[in-house]
């Protein structure tokens, strides 16, 4: 976000699940409690309800004002978590997304990829594990492969970035992707970035740019 600000690009940062008051309430339902508090279909329905509220109350108004939108997760995360990870049929999830969003889709999705054990370690170092992070390793392996498949199936929209390196390297790779996709110059911060877990970042112009994060901080769908 700081790079966009330095480039003079108005941008709105947001997240999923959440981003609007109603969606944040649903986020708490999804992330708190035991891993099997909700089954996969219930999760998908809650996530789509949150996404509709988020899109209509936050994303669409920001785009109408001419801002770029940078979202920590969007619809691909539901495909990865509830589809590839939890076994909901991908065609059913695609139907729900079309019902909630129509043909709306991000211009760019940045997927940060790294081995499961590194991603979970980074998440644990940052905050207590939520109910998704407490699911077993097999789930997280399916999740990673799901994100990689989404990137392979959508090469024009998705950028798969190796997030196993240091934060400076990952940050530069994200900015390079933005510059290449949108033809804008976004310089990295002149000072070293703090040594913390890498996070997803994505950006856009006339339509919203939303990003999906995988690996470094698994949270939600």
pLDDT per position as a tens digit, 27-56: 999 988 777 789 999 999 999 999 999 999
Question: Could you give all domains of the chain from N- to C-terminal order, each with its CATH number?
Answer: 2-184+196-211 (3.40.50.300)
Kindly tell me if the per-residue pLDDT of 187 is higher than 80: no
C-alpha to C-alpha distance for 167 and 155, rounded to whole angstroms: 24
DSSP, res 101: H
Among 10, 38, 1, CA closest to 202: 1
| Coil, helix or strand at residue 110 | strand
- The pLDDT, as a whole number, for residue 191 is 57
Please measure the distance between the N-terminal and C-terminal CA atoms of the chain and give it in whole angstroms.
23
* 8 A C-beta contact, residue 213 and residue 200: yes
C-alpha to C-alpha distance for 55 and 188, rounded to whole angstroms: 29
Q: Is the peptide bond before 156 cis (omega within 30 degrees of 0)?
A: no
pTM: 0.84
The per-residue pLDDT for range 103-132, each reduced to its tens digit, is: 999 999 999 999 999 988 888 888 887 888
- The pLDDT, as a whole number, for residue 190 is 60
User: How much is the average pLDDT of 13-39?
Assistant: 92
C-alpha to C-alpha distance for 110 and 186, rounded to whole angstroms: 16
C-alpha to C-alpha distance for 150 and 218, rounded to whole angstroms: 16
């Amino acid at each position: 976000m700081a790079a966009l600000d330095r480039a003079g690009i108005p941008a709105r940062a947001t997240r999923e699940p959440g981003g609007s008051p109603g969606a944040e309430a649903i986020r708490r339902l999804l992330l708190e409690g035991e891993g099997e508090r909700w089954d996969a279909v219930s999760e998908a329905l809650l996530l789509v309800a949150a996404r509709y509220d988020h899109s209509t109350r936050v994303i669409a108004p920001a785009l109408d004002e001419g801002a770029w939108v940078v979202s920590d997760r969007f619809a691909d995360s539901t495909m990865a978590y509830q589809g590839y990870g939890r076994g909901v049929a991908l065609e059913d999830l695609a139907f729900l997304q079309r019902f909630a969003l129509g043909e709306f889709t991000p211009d760019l999705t940045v997927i940060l990829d790294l081995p499961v054990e590194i991603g979970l370690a980074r998440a644990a170092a940052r905050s207590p594990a939520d109910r998704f992070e407490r699911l077993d390793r097999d789930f997280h392996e399916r999740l990673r492969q799901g994100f990689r498949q989404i990137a392979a199936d959508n090469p024009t929209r998705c950028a798969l970035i190796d997030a196993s390196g240091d934060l400076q390297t990952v940050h530069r790779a994200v900015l390079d992707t933005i510059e290449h996709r949108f033809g804008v110059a976004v310089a990295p911060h002149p000072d070293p970035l703090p040594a913390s877990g890498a996070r997803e970042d994505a950006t856009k112009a006339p339509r919203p740019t939303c990003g999906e994060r995988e690996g470094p901080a698994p949270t939600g769908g």
